[in-house]
């Protein structure tokens, strides 16, 4: 998707458009919860010593297998996501380590293809969310849904003026 996006960006720039090239590397979701929980188990000393992760793809596959087959691991992975979104310093440190490994892997490819992208994952918007949620709540535009698998996790659905319209 990066190569396709870069090709489209180059075309738009050629025609005079100002293109903001964003990469959502390090988005805060379940995948990162799995990776962080796996990191904690495999490299418990990760806070003191940078773990020797050289193949992030294999590391991810191992964490995904555990997530699918180990209910306790799955629960911890979800908890890691909540802790990540709550700015837990240890979890943020783990997240940064994993992002660094990922970035190292893709930097070479980006250089070869002359792709220039600004990193701006979900974490960039995290500090803005509290005020936004409060504003939408005041305007009665939110529906709150609590997760059954991870009670600490809350999902908000934004209602629009069209929410109650029937489709024909």
54-91 pLDDT tens trace: 788 899 999 999 999 999 999 999 999 999 988 899 99
**Distance separating the N- and C-terminal Cα atoms of the chain:** 34
Is the model's pTM score more than 0.85? no
pLDDT at 148 over 70: no
Percent of the chain with pLDDT over 90: 35
pLDDT at 68: 97
Q: How many angstroms separate the Cα of 158 from the Cα of each of 65, 143, 162?
A: 33, 6, 11
Q: Exposure of 67 by Cβ count < 10 A (0-12 exposed, 13-18 middle, 19+ buried)? A: buried
How confident is the prediction for the chain on average, in pLDDT? 83
| Distance, CA of 121 to CA of 107 (rounded, Å) | 16
Residues 17-38: what's their mean pLDDT?
A: 85
CA dihedral 43, 47, 48, 51 (to 10 degrees): 40
pLDDT at 162 over 70: no
| Distance, CA of 132 to CA of 97 (rounded, Å) | 29
pLDDT at 89: 94
């Amino acid at each position: 998707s990066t190569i396709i996006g870069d090709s489209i960006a180059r075309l738009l720039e050629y025609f005079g458009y100002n293109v903001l090239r964003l990469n959502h590397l390090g988005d805060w979701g379940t995948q990162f919860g799995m990776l962080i929980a796996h990191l904690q188990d495999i490299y418990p000393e990760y806070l003191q010593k940078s773990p020797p992760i050289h193949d992030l793809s294999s590391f991810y596959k191992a964490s995904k297998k555990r997530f699918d087959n180990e209910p306790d691991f799955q629960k911890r992975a979800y908890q890691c996501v909540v802790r990540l979104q709550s700015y837990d310093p240890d979890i943020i440190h783990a997240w940064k380590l994993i992002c660094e490994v990922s970035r190292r892997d893709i930097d070479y490819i980006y250089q070869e293809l002359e792709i220039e992208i600004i990193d701006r994952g979900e974490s960039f918007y995290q500090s803005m969310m509290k005020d936004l949620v409060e504003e939408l709540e005041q305007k009665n535009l939110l529906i709150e849904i609590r997760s059954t698998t991870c009670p600490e996790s809350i999902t908000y659905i934004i209602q629009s003026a069209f929410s109650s319209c029937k489709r024909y």
